[in-house]
Amino acid sequence: MIDITNLHKRYGKIEVLKGVNLSIDAGKTTAILGPNGSGKTTLIKSILGIVKPTTGDICYLGKSILNQWLYRNEIAYLPQIARFPENLKVRELVHFIENLRDQKGNYEDLVNLFELKFSLEKRLRNLSGGTRQKVNLLLTFMFDCPVYILDEPTSGLDPVALIRFKSLLNEKRLQQKTILITTHIIHMVEEIADEMVFLLEGNIYYQGSCEGLLANHHETDLEKAIASILSNNHVENIKI
């Protein structure tokens, strides 16, 4: 569904992506893991057309997305850090996003799921970090799209909201949506991912199933298998 070929991205002298080759299958959930600064968000933003690659190509349904934009209508995106207009109320923001997409959102069930009923009339500047993330999830999932790209979606969620988010994610998986997710929660990767990609310093060091990674490193624990990749590449004390 999404094919990335020899993707490079350079900011001045800093090369963030170094020839990434990756295929993301339709109807599957792919988790991208890697230390902070490994290029995960840059890769996602390249797929979305927010970042223009230095060289390489990205194809969606067999067609290059470079200098295109209509394909984005089929993608729902949750950014790692959502920056909202602070003076708007939550309900106003929902309607604003609906107008931008020229599409009616289905959000009532999400309001109930994440207990946002009493937050709809609050201004965004008055929301806690956890509630802002719930609003972020609401804005992402209120549209029915074939592709969902989620950059650290669990950030700031309390345990109850996390359980409900995973339930929502499993519902989308059963609908055979294509999901691309970055997360630091290793056990969630084991629960939801059909495939995982490990990105380190702009290079892919592993692509395949969690079981395959465990077998490759003769481990029974995914965190230890990932630590083995870091150790073999002389990377220490880095948060995944």
Cα-flanking dihedrals φ and ψ of residue 151, to 5°? Answer: -100, 105
pLDDT digits (tens, 9 = 90+) for 153-191: 998 999 999 999 999 999 999 999 999 999 888 888 988
**Helix or strand run (H / E) with residue 82:** none
The whole-number pLDDT of residue 230 equals 82
Tokens of 181: 């997710």
User: Measured between alpha carbons, how far is 46 from 36 in angstroms, rounded to an integer?
Assistant: 17
Whether 237 maps to a domain, the answer reads no
- Based on the number of CB atoms within 10 Å of its own CB, is 236 exposed (0-12), middle (13-18) or buried (19 or more)? exposed
- Based on the number of CB atoms within 10 Å of its own CB, is 169 exposed (0-12), middle (13-18) or buried (19 or more)? buried
Whether 240 maps to a domain, the answer reads no
Whether 40 maps to a domain, the answer reads yes
* Number of domains present in the structure of the chain: 1
The whole-number pLDDT of residue 160 equals 95
Whether 114 maps to a domain, the answer reads yes
Range of the domain at 227: 2-232
Q: What is the pTM of this model?
A: 0.92
- Based on the number of CB atoms within 10 Å of its own CB, is 30 exposed (0-12), middle (13-18) or buried (19 or more)? buried
CB atoms within 10 A of CB 97: 17
User: Measured between alpha carbons, how far is 108 from 69 in angstroms, rounded to an integer?
Assistant: 29
To the nearest 10°, the Cα dihedral for 66, 67, 68, 69? 110
Whether 135 maps to a domain, the answer reads yes
User: Measured between alpha carbons, how far is 194 from 187 in angstroms, rounded to an integer?
Assistant: 13
CATH number for the domain that contains residue 10: 3.40.50.300
User: Measured between alpha carbons, how far is 94 from 77 in angstroms, rounded to an integer?
Assistant: 15
Full strand arrangement of the beta sheet holding 29-33: 75-78, 147-151, 178-182, 29-33, 195-200, 203-208
Q: Would you call 56 helix, strand, or coil by DSSP?
A: strand
Binning pLDDT at 50, 70 and 90, where does residue 86 land? very high
Give the residue carrying structure tokens 């893991």: 33
User: Measured between alpha carbons, how far is 159 from 229 in angstroms, rounded to an integer?
Assistant: 30
Mean of per-residue pLDDT scores for the chain: 92
pLDDT digits (tens, 9 = 90+) for 52-64: 999 999 999 999 9
Amino acid (one-letter) located at 131: T
User: Measured between alpha carbons, how far is 211 from 79 in angstroms, rounded to an integer?
Assistant: 29
Least confident of 12-21, 82-91, 173-182, 219-228: 219-228
Whether 23 maps to a domain, the answer reads yes
Whether 239 maps to a domain, the answer reads no
